[in-house]
Amino acid sequence: MSDQETQAAKESTRNIKRTTLVHLPFKTHSPLAELARRAGLALLLMIISTIIVYIDRGSYIDNVAHDGVSFIDALYYSTVTVTTTGYGDITPLTPHARLLSAVVITPLRIAFLVLLVGATLEVLATEGRRSMRDAGWRRNMRNHTVVIGYGTKGRSAITTLRSHDVPSDRIVVIDAKAAAVAEANRNGLAAFEGDATRRELLRRAEIGKAREVVITLPRDDTAILTTLTVRQLNARCHIVVAGREEENLPLLRESGADSVVTSADAVGRLLGLSSVNPHVGEVIDDLLSSAHGMEVIQRKVSADEVGARPDDIVNERVLAVIRNDTLLNFYDPNLEKLTTGDSVVVVRRALTRRPRFPAAPQS
C-alpha cells in the first residue's frame, strides 16, 4: 500500500471515530416494547416447528407413554427442542423425520436462540451504552451553542461558527425532521429530533447551560414561542433569531431575542442593491461570505492598540467599537481613542482556513 493510500485510510478511520463519538440517538425506543416484538417472532418460530411435527406425527415416538404424538406433545417437543432442553422422551423415528429435524427444525432452533437470547442482550447492551453516552455528554456539555433548525440558514450559521474556530463538539442541533437530524449527525454534530417549543426537549439539549442559541425556524410564530421558552430556561444566554417578516421583529425582541435578523428583507435588500448598484451588492455579498475576499469580525483590542485611534489600525478597517456593551459607530464623536476592554468590529481580508470537520455529502 502506498503512503497516500495509507494516509487516506487513516483519515477515513479518524472520520468514522469522530462521527461515532458525537452521534446521539434520534429517538428513545422502549426496551420492553422491543423485547416484546422479538418474543413474538420467537413464538412464531416455535409455532411453525409445532405444526411441522404435528403434521408428521406418525414419524415420531413417545418413549414414555407410547400412545402416539398429540398436538400437545408436538408443542411440548418443539418447546424443549428450540430451547435446546431436549429431554429425549419424544424423538423422530423414521429417516425422513430425522432429516427434516436436521434441515428444518435445527435452523429454527438456531434462529430462535439468535433472535431471543442474542437480540435481547444486544438491546439491553445498546440501551445501557446509549444511556451512559448520553449521561457523559450531559455532564460535559456547557457553554455550547444550540442551533434550532438545520435548514439552509442553520447550516450556513454552523459553517460560519466552525470557520471561526467554534469546535463541532460544542454545537448542538435541534430539528423536527429526522432527515435533518441524520444529516447533522453525518456532519459530526450532536442532534435532537423534535419540537423545539417543548421544554423537555430543550432541557435534554442542556439549554440551561448554553452560551448562545441560534433560532432559524421557517415560521415567525414558532420562532417567537421558541424564543420565549429558551429565555425562560436560560436568562443569560445570547439568543439570535432569524425572522421572516419586518412586522414581527418587535415581538421577537420582546420575547427575549438579543439579535434579530430579517432573512427575507435582508435577501430582498441585497437583490435590490445588486440590481441598482451591482458593485455594492458584490461587496456586501463578499462581506457575508468568509471563504474568500473580505470578512467582518469582532475582536478584542490588543495591548499595543490601546490609546490609538481607530484609523491607526493597520490591515483592518474599523467599522464600530463596543465599549461597556455600547455600540459606537466609526463616525461617533465620542470615539477618539481605543481603551482597554474595547472590542472592535473590523473589515479585513478573509483568512483561509482548512476545514477541521467532514464535508457535507453531496446531494
CB 329 within 8 A of CB 320: yes
Q: Let me know whether 232 and 321 are in one domain.
A: no
Range of the domain at 195: 142-288
Grid coordinates standing for 301?
483590542
Q: Let me know whether 55 and 130 are in one domain.
A: yes
According to DSSP, the residues that pair with 237 across neighbouring strands are none
Give CA separation, 45 vs 50, 54, 113, 343, in Å: 9, 14, 11, 71
Looking at the domain assignment, is residue 359 inside a domain? Answer: no
Looking at the domain assignment, is residue 21 inside a domain? Answer: no
- For residue 218, the 8-state DSSP code is S
Q: Let me know whether 155 and 58 are in one domain.
A: no
Residue 354 confidence (pLDDT): 44
Q: What is the CATH number of the domain that holds 297?
A: 3.30.70.1450
List, run by run, the mean pLDDT of 10-residue segments along the chain (363 residues): 56 43 45 71 82 84 77 82 73 78 77 69 63 73 92 88 85 92 89 90 91 93 94 94 86 91 71 75 72 80 89 88 88 87 88 48 37
What is the tally of structural domains in the chain?
3
Residue 224 confidence (pLDDT): 94
Q: What is the CATH number of the domain that holds 243?
A: 3.40.50.720
Looking at the domain assignment, is residue 322 inside a domain? Answer: yes
Q: Tell which of 87, 119, 137 closes a domain.
A: 137
The candidate with the shortest Cα–Cα distance to 258, out of 319, 297, 214, 288, is 214
Looking at the domain assignment, is residue 116 inside a domain? Answer: yes
Q: Let me know whether 176 and 306 are in one domain.
A: no
Q: Let me know whether 154 and 234 are in one domain.
A: yes
Looking at the domain assignment, is residue 8 inside a domain? Answer: no
